[in-house]
Amino acid sequence: MKYYYNSLNKMVTFIFIFVLAIDVTMVLGQGTRVGFYSRTCPRAESIVQSTVRSHFQSDPTVAPGLLRMHFHDCFVLGCDASILIAGAGTERTAPPNSLLRGYEVIDDAKTQIEAVCPGVVSCADILALAARDSVLMTRGLTWSVPTGRRDGRVSRAADTSNLPGFTESVDSQKQKFVAKGLNTQDLVTLVGGHTIGTSACQFFSYRLYNFNSTGGPDPSIDASFLPQLRALCPQNGDSSKRVVLDTGSVNNFDNSYFSNLRSGRGILESDQKLWTDASTKVFVQRYLGVRGLIGLTFGVEFGRSMVKMSNIEVKTGTNGEIRQVCSAIN
C-alpha cells in the first residue's frame, strides 16, 4: 500500500511538472526562456539590476521612464529595442516618445555588460530586465523575465501610430492590444503601471476647462479633485509641468491607482475610461477586491501580463543582431 501511494504521488508530481512546463513554454513564447544567459553571461541580470538601482537612487523618475519605454518598444515592431536607436526619423523622435526617459540607464548597463560579455546580451533583453527591476525598486513584486531576444535593425517614427493615445476610447485601446495578442485584462493590468510616474499638464489640462468644447470640465472628474488639478495646471499655464498619475502613492507600485479611478481621480482621459467602460471596469473592481467578484492580485497579474507583452513579435535565433551600442545599429 505504501509503495502504491508513493508511486501515485510520483505520478501526480510528474504530471504537474509536465503541465507546468507546457504552460511556461506557452507563456514565455518560442525562442525566449528564463535564464537564457546563465552560461554565456551569468552576471547579466545582476548588472542590470544594480545599474537600475544606482540610477534610481539618484533619480527615482527613471523607474516609470524605463517601464514606459519598454511598453513603447514592444508595441512598435515588437520587443526589439528599436526605441533605443538614435537619429533623425527614428522611433524615439516621434511625438509619443518625445518625453521618454531612462536611455542613459540602458546605455550604462550595456557598457558594463559588454566589458565582461562582449557581443552576447541584447539591448532588447536589457530593456526588458530594467523594466522589471524598475517595478522592484518601487516596492512592487518581481517576476522571472524570459530572455533571448535579439535587437532590431529598423526604427521609424511613422511606425509609432499604433501606440495607444491619452484620449483613446476603450474599444480602440482593446483593438490595439488584441492586435498584439493581449486581452482586456492585460490592458487594464498594464495601464495600471501608471501607479508610478507623472504626466505633463498638456496631456490632460483640456479636461479641466473646456472638455469637448463644453466650456466646462470633464464630468467624470471628481468635483472635489478638480480645484487641486486646476491649481497644478492653471489655464494657459506651464504645459510642461509634471503631475503624478497616482495621487497619494506616486513612488509605490500598488493598486491605489485603481482606487483613484473608482473615485474619479484618474489623470488621463484614457485611464479614467477604464472605470466608465463596463468591459474594463470589472477588472478594476477585481483588483480592488469588490465583493461578489473574484479578486485579482495586481502585482502577480502585472508580472504575468509583462511576460506576455515582452514576447510580442520578438526576434530570436539568427533574426536581428546583438548591438554593440544600444543607440546604433551595428
Give residue-wise pLDDT tens across range 90-124: 999 999 999 999 999 999 999 999 999 999 999 99
Residues 105-142 as b/e (b if ≥16 CB within 10 A, e otherwise) read bbbbbbebbbeebeeebbbbbbbbbbbbbbbbbbebee
Whether 208 and 120 map to the same domain: the answer is no
- What whole-number distance in Å separates Cα of residue 110 and Cα of residue 133? 15
Asked whether the predicted pLDDT for residue 82 surpasses 60, the reply is yes
- What whole-number distance in Å separates Cα of residue 207 and Cα of residue 209? 6
Whether 199 and 125 map to the same domain: the answer is no
Helix axes 269-276, 184-191, angle to 10 degrees: 130
Q: Domain total for the chain?
A: 2
Give the position of cell 527614428.
Answer: 90
Contacts of 244 (CB under 8 A, 6+ apart): 197, 198, 250, 267
Whether 211 and 293 map to the same domain: the answer is yes
Give the model's confidence band at 30: pLDDT under 50 very low, under 70 low, under 90 confident, else very high: low
Whether 130 and 184 map to the same domain: the answer is no
Bridge partners of 325?
Answer: 328
288 domain-assigned: yes
315 domain-assigned: no
Query: Which of the listed residues 164, 184, 206 is the one where a domain comes to its end?
Result: 164
36 domain-assigned: no
Asked whether the predicted pLDDT for residue 246 surpasses 80, the reply is yes
Running DSSP on this structure, what letter comes out for residue 140?
A: P
Range of the domain at 176: 170-308
Running DSSP on this structure, what letter comes out for residue 158?
A: G
The pTM of the full predicted model, rounded to 2 decimals, is 0.89
210 domain-assigned: yes
Give the model's confidence band at 14: pLDDT under 50 very low, under 70 low, under 90 confident, else very high: very low
24 domain-assigned: no
Give the amino acid at 38. S
Alpha-carbon dihedral 181, 144, 67, 112, rounded to 10 degrees = -130
Q: How far is CA 203 from CA 69, 87, 198, 208, 285, in A?
A: 18, 26, 11, 11, 26
Give the amino acid at 24. V
Whether 156 and 177 map to the same domain: the answer is no
Whether 127 and 177 map to the same domain: the answer is no
188 domain-assigned: yes
70 is catalytic: no
CATH number of the domain bearing residue 81: 1.10.520.10
- Whether residue 287 contacts residue 298, with contact meaning beta carbons closer than 8 Å, is answered with yes
Give the amino acid at 271. D
Asked whether the predicted pLDDT for residue 207 surpasses 80, the reply is yes
Whether 154 and 176 map to the same domain: the answer is no
Within 10 Å of residue 251's Cβ, how many Cβ atoms? 16
12-21, 244-253, 267-276: least confidently modelled range: 12-21
Burial of 188 (0-12, 13-18, 19+ CB in 10 A): buried
35 domain-assigned: no
All cell numbers assigned to 109: 548597463
Catalytic residue chosen out of the listed positions 55, 70, 72, 194: 72
Report pLDDT for 162. 87
Whether 109 and 50 map to the same domain: the answer is yes
